[in-house]
Amino acid sequence: MDFKTAVANEILSALKAAFGEVEIAPADIAAALEIPPDTALGDYAFPCFKLSKALRKSPMMIADALAAGIHADFVGRVESVKGYLNFFIDRAIYAEKVLSLARAQGERYGADDSGAGKTVVLDYSSINIAKRFHIGHLSTTMIGNSLYRLHRFFGWRAVGVNHLGDWGTQFGKMIAAYKRWGDHDTVAAGGVDEMVKLYVRFNDEAKENPALNDEGRAWFKKIEDGDPEALEIFNWFKSVTLKDAERVYDMLGVTFDSYAGESFYNDKMQPIIDSLRDKGLLKEDQGAQIVDLADYGMPPALILRSDGATLYMTRDLAAAKYRKDTYDFDKSLYVVAYQQDLHFRQLFKVLELMGYEWSKACEHVAFGMVSFEGEALSTRQGHVVYLDELLTQAVEKARAIIDEKSPDLENKDEVARQVGIGAVVFFDLYNNRIKDIDFSWDRALNFDGETGPYVQYTHARACSVLRKAAGAEKAEPDFAALADPFSQDVVRLIEQFPDILKSAVNRSEPSMVTRFAVDLAQAFNKFYYENKVMVDEPGTRAARLLLTDVVRQTLKVALYLIGVEAPERM
Ligand code: ARG
């Protein structure tokens, strides 16, 4: 039983004792409990205003009656103030309850089985074939990865889908360019960069020689018709791109269960188009087939171009249906940049108009733009920051800092990797996802700021304290030693961890976990500065060591849930 529930149960029995049977569930009481901004007002406050109507009594009277009826020993004191019932928890018992629960549940602390039997499909990263993986795809990759881990933590079955951008006329052009100027070994060695070069050259030369475009179209037609040579080259481009991308995914520790991208739906769109037609949703507009969404204040959804070609939307409709049929999801998340907001509103609306109840279970998890050291990313002006280069640089910079700060560390390369990459990921997930991010080396790698390295360093410090204490005699913790405000701040954060994780899942907002990790690290460092852990008094020492261990465990889990590793030595 968690602490909040214990308080809620006390309120419920006091309510029954004072007013007889009341129509309120313990969970509703727990949900109504507030945490006062100032601990001088108590650790919890229960507002009695809602009950006032049902009980036909003033909130002040209810709060007075409840205050008189609460005697549990973990409640140090209660006060009735202006319709609020303020709880002051006995600090020693509070620390004991919170830390013992966290300790007993270990790395499952904060989790529950609320997702058992449920499935979530997550569409994230979803990179484009024959394009370099640049930092514009970092947020989708890391938010998706974190949501994947968070859902699994709560018992969901999670299906991670990389909806590859592997369809479009550009691939016809790329093949045409490859046939004219390319050769196998150069592309095999140069990877995506070589493909991009070919494509750029094709577009340049096509300006002088427009006949090239016909060649490109002809090759695209061949891909569509399943011509073996065209398919072979195209699939090879795809595998070269994925090989490059996989290196980045390995560095980031990100995985997928499916790489079914746009081309996967080539043979799955006809039933959708038929069904749209049968349901009278398809309309002709200047030769194209559309779904009119004017009634919903949106431009029409384009289903077929006038030449009969399918579109991004057509493929997403087929993908949504396929995911429902294949995985029978309870929730389907699309972690895609805010710029595609309209696309997803249209998509979900068309699904709804098709009569699919489950369109309600689809959600666009939008996020803001990333710039780099103040410069917007633009392929045209050449300010492109490639993710593998960024990560490699981060690792090098972390390595330099480690060489300076901890010259004697054993596995410096491994730790530099964990810290460098962790810094980038942490920075990316630090703000509310809808906010734009400006990536900065100084701010990402600062060991004293609100950064990944700072949290990792705090975790390593806790590990080091525990290592040094390993030989000390064991004793029963004296929880009264944790009554000081610094210890209590740590305990309070530990207690809030489960709720924070739940909100992070419900709002698809990993930044709540990132922020929490910083808050906990800061509170622990204050505690550590103010309180000596290895004191002589065994009860006090045991209590402080227990707190340190729970902080270590909680930071490790929090970091894992946002996709950041937690080295034990730094
Ligand atoms: N490949 C697209 C892009 O890079 C993102 C695809 C998102 N997923 C989807 N089902 N539309 O912009």
Centre of ligand 1 to C-alpha 128, Å, is 8
The range of the structural domain enclosing residue 11 comes to 3-89
Neighbouring C-alpha atoms within 13 Å toward the C-beta of 40: 1
10 lies in a domain? yes
The backbone torsions φ and ψ at residue 339, rounded to the nearest 5 degrees and listed phi first, read -55, -25
* Ligand 1 atom nearest to 343, measured from its CA: 11
Centre of ligand 1 to C-alpha 336, Å, is 6
> What pLDDT score was predicted for residue 224?
85
381: pLDDT confidence band, cut at 50, 70 and 90? low
Cα-atom radius of gyration of the chain, to the nearest Å? Answer: 29
CATH number for the domain spanning 39: value is 3.30.1360.70
**Rounded distance, CA 95 to CA 91, Å?**
6
The DSSP symbol for 338 reads G
If one residue of 122, 125, 126, 262 were mutated to test the ligand 1 pocket, choosing by the most ligand atoms within 8 A of its CB, it would be: 126
> What pLDDT score was predicted for residue 39?
83
Q: Quick check: 378 pLDDT over 70?
A: no
The DSSP symbol for 478 reads -
**Pairing relationship of beta strands 84-89 and 75-81 according to DSSP bridges:** antiparallel
40: pLDDT confidence band, cut at 50, 70 and 90? confident
| Whether residue 57 lies in the annotated active site | no
**Rounded distance, CA 320 to CA 168, Å?**
19
**Rounded distance, CA 199 to CA 130, Å?**
9
313 lies in a domain? no
> What pLDDT score was predicted for residue 353?
98
390 lies in a domain? no
> What pLDDT score was predicted for residue 377?
65
pLDDT in tens, 288-342: 999 999 999 999 999 999 988 899 999 999 999 999 999 999 999 999 999 999 9
* Ligand 1 atom nearest to 136, measured from its CA: 4
22 lies in a domain? yes
> What pLDDT score was predicted for residue 379?
54
**Rounded distance, CA 190 to CA 552, Å?**
44
> What pLDDT score was predicted for residue 447?
86
* Ligand 1 atom nearest to 137, measured from its CA: 4
Q: What SS3 state is found at 552?
A: helix
Residues 6+ apart with CB under 8 A from 252: 141, 142, 145, 391, 421, 425, 563
- Average pLDDT rounded to a whole number, residues 111-115: 96
Q: Quick check: 1 pLDDT over 60?
A: no
**Rounded distance, CA 103 to CA 97, Å?**
10
If one residue of 258, 323, 336 were mutated to test the ligand 1 pocket, choosing by the most ligand atoms within 8 A of its CB, it would be: 336
pLDDT in tens, 187-214: 999 999 999 999 999 999 999 999 999 9
Centre of ligand 1 to C-alpha 125, Å, is 8
338 lies in a domain? no
Centre of ligand 1 to C-alpha 218, Å, is 26
pLDDT in tens, 129-187: 998 888 889 999 999 999 999 999 999 999 999 999 999 989 999 999 999 999 999 99
> What pLDDT score was predicted for residue 15?
94
* Ligand 1 atom nearest to 340, measured from its CA: 12
Please tell me the chain's helix, strand, coil percentages from 3-state DSSP, rounded to the nearest 5: 60, 10, 30
Which residue among 97, 137, 324, 459 is the active-site one?
A: 137
| Whether residue 131 lies in the annotated active site | yes
* Ligand 1 atom nearest to 165, measured from its CA: 1
Centre of ligand 1 to C-alpha 264, Å, is 14
For ligand 1, atom 4, name the residue with the nearest CA: 127
* Ligand 1 atom nearest to 312, measured from its CA: 11
- Average pLDDT rounded to a whole number, residues 32-55: 91
pLDDT in tens, 404-418: 999 999 999 999 999
For ligand 1, atom 1, name the residue with the nearest CA: 165
Centre of ligand 1 to C-alpha 263, Å, is 12
**Rounded distance, CA 196 to CA 173, Å?**
11
**Pairing relationship of beta strands 282-285 and 288-291 according to DSSP bridges:** antiparallel
Residue 360 C-alpha from the chain's centroid: 21
| Whether residue 364 lies in the annotated active site | no
174 lies in a domain? no
Which residue among 131, 173, 324, 364 is the active-site one?
A: 131
> What pLDDT score was predicted for residue 382?
59
List 87's β-bridge partners, or say none.
44, 78
Cβ < 6 A, ligand 1 pocket: 123, 126, 128, 163, 165, 316, 319, 334, 336
Enumerate the H helices of 432-537 as residue ranges.
441-445, 452-469, 485-506, 511-530
What is the count of structural domains for the chain?
A: 1
For ligand 1, atom 5, name the residue with the nearest CA: 126
Q: What SS3 state is found at 79?
A: strand
- Average pLDDT rounded to a whole number, residues 426-449: 92
> What pLDDT score was predicted for residue 137?
93
47 lies in a domain? yes
Which residue among 134, 173, 238, 321 is the active-site one?
A: 134
- Average pLDDT rounded to a whole number, residues 94-115: 96
pLDDT in tens, 386-397: 899 999 999 999
Between 519 and 5, the higher pLDDT residue: 519
Centre of ligand 1 to C-alpha 222, Å, is 24
Q: Quick check: 460 pLDDT over 80?
A: yes
Q: How many CB atoms lie within 10 A of CB 512?
A: 21
For ligand 1, atom 11, name the residue with the nearest CA: 316
Centre of ligand 1 to C-alpha 230, Å, is 24
12 lies in a domain? yes
